[in-house]
Structure 1
Amino acid sequence: MMALWLECRQLWRLRALLAVLVRRELAARVAGSAGGLLWVWLPPLLTVAAYYLVFDVVFGMRLGAGAPTSRVGTYLIVGMLAWMAFADAVQRGMTSLLDAGGLLQKNPLPPGLFPARTVLASGLVFAPLLLALVPLYAGSHHFASGVWAVLPLLALQGLLAFLLAFLLAILAAALRDVVQVVGVLLSLGVYLSPVLFPVTLFPERWRWVLWLNPMTAPVLGLQSALLEGRWPVPSVWWVLAIWLGLLAAALALALARSRDQLVDWL
């Protein structure tokens, strides 16, 4: 884990530069548009509005017993916002080293700066939307204390996205096919998570498959905190810790193995 520790120390030492890169990343996403950040927030906001309008208002669909809420649209909003934040961070972070190849060849910068830049930028886009759900959903559980679990859950989801994006960025530098494969997996992964349906609707003998998706634990935790005002069950935190540990170990190994070849791959 020494390679990962050294990388994190360098990121902390260059935190001022990282903040500048994050600002430039956000500026680049809205460059040339009069609407600015509105065009960054508008797609997820329209998605959320469509879920609420179609499933809760027009069709009035309801979930069965065992679901954290009875309203389908209200349920979908939490999971889909969390999934969109994760997918955006991972996809952009995965290609961040490829995009910065010329810069890394000319400057001895730590490679972690670039996936960290994209993940933090995505977090600044989606975190306010998820936090805005706190007062909107608080009425259903009278602002129960468990809603504060949203803060550590968002932080851990950001760390999860960074570790995975950094690992995939190194693999993509070595083999460009990784980008296409991960794109397909992200498209399919939403169906193997409790984003579109409660865990109770998934066949019981196959529920273990859902835990192979790194976003299952964060989504379950956010649903519990936002929809019910309950602190997530211990299994959510344990699974998150296991995923973070596995990704950290894999990233440390990838950093150690690729240190001398990474710039050449780019």
Structure 2
Amino acid sequence: MMTVANELHSVWNARALVWVLTRREVASRHAGTAVGVLWPYLQPLLTVAAYYLVFDVVFRMRLGEGAPTHAVGTFLVVGALPWMAFCDAVQRGMTSLIDAGGLLHKNPLPPVLFTTRAVLASALIYGPLLLLVALAYVPAHGLRPAVLALVPLLGLQLALCLVLAYVLAILAAALRDVVQLVGFLLSVGIYLSPILFPLSLFPENWRWVLWLNPMTGLVQGYQQVLLQGAWPPASVWWVSLAWLALLVLALNALVARSRDQLVDWL
């Protein structure tokens, strides 16, 4: 575990540089666009707005019994936006070391800085959107104390994305096929989580499959808070923490074994 602790220490020592790199990363995502800095925020916001418009306003589709809410679009938005944030952070973080290969060859910078930059840039874009959606859902249940659970939920998601992205970045540096494989898994992952349907509607004997998705617990947590105004159940926390602990162990082993070869792989 000391290996991961050393990586965190490197990020903390270079926090000013990380902040500069993160700001440049965010700026690069809207460079050359007409609407400027608003564009990275408009894309996911318009996507979830389309969910609401199509399913709740146009078709007025409704979920069955056992769902936390009956409006399909309202249900989809709560899970889809965190999932988009997860996919963006993981995909960009996974290719962060490959993209920074030339710079890492010339400068002895800790590789973890570049993965951190990519994940934090995604957090700066999707974090405000998640908080905006949370405010939009307040009238559904009132401003209950359970809304405070959003803080640890967002913190857990950020930590999960950072660790997973760094694990995948090292693997992608060693084997480029990882990028294609993970891209496929992320494209089908939305169907293996309670985003398009409530967990209660999934066959009980097969629900364990959904827990293989690291976002299942967090999505459930967001649904509990935003749709029902309730504190997430214990399963949300221990499953998410278990995923985080497992990934930290994997990262610790990968960093220790790749330290001398990582830059050469790039």
Coarse TM-score class (shorter-chain normalised): over 0.9
**Alignment RMSD (CA, Å):** 0.8
* TM-score, length basis structure 2: 0.98
Q: Which amino acid aligns with 2:29?
A: R
1:245 aligns with 2:263: no
* TM-score, length basis structure 1: 0.98
Please name the residue that 2:76 is paired with. 76
Give me the whole-angstrom Cα distance separating, in 2, the residues matched to 1:149 and 1:165.
24
Give CA deviations for 1:47-86 in whole Å, capped at 9, x if unaligned. Answer: 1111111111111111112111111000000111000000
2:211 counterpart SS class: helix
Please name the residue that 2:217 is paired with. 217
2:36 counterpart SS class: coil
- Residue 38 of structure 1 deviates from its aligned partner by 1.8
Please name the residue that 2:113 is paired with. 113
Please name the residue that 2:95 is paired with. 95
Please name the residue that 1:146 is paired with. 146
Q: Which amino acid aligns with 1:15?
A: R
Give me the whole-angstrom Cα distance separating, in 1, the residues matched to 2:14 and 2:135.
35
- Residue 34 of structure 1 deviates from its aligned partner by 2.8
Give me the whole-angstrom Cα distance separating, in 1, the residues matched to 2:146 and 2:133.
14
Q: Which amino acid aligns with 1:37?
A: V
2:111 counterpart SS class: coil
1:26 aligns with 2:26: yes
Structure 2 unaligned segments of length 5 or more: list them: none
Give CA deviations for 1:96-140 in whole Å, capped at 9, x if unaligned. Answer: 000001111111111110110010000110111110122211111
Give CA deviations for 1:218-254 in whole Å, capped at 9, x if unaligned. Answer: 1000111111111100000000110000000000100
Q: How many residues align?
A: 266
Q: Which amino acid aligns with 1:53?
A: L
Give me the whole-angstrom Cα distance separating, in 2, the residues matched to 1:63 and 1:75.
9
Percent identity, aligned pairs only? 65
Give CA deviations for 1:193-233 in whole Å, capped at 9, x if unaligned. Answer: 00110001110000011001000011000111111111100
Give me the whole-angstrom Cα distance separating, in 1, the residues matched to 2:115 and 2:221.
25
Q: Which runs of 4+ in 1 moved over 6 A?
A: none
1:127 counterpart SS class: helix
- Residue 191 of structure 1 deviates from its aligned partner by 0.2
Please name the residue that 1:161 is paired with. 161
Structure 1 unaligned segments of length 5 or more: list them: none
- Residue 189 of structure 1 deviates from its aligned partner by 0.5
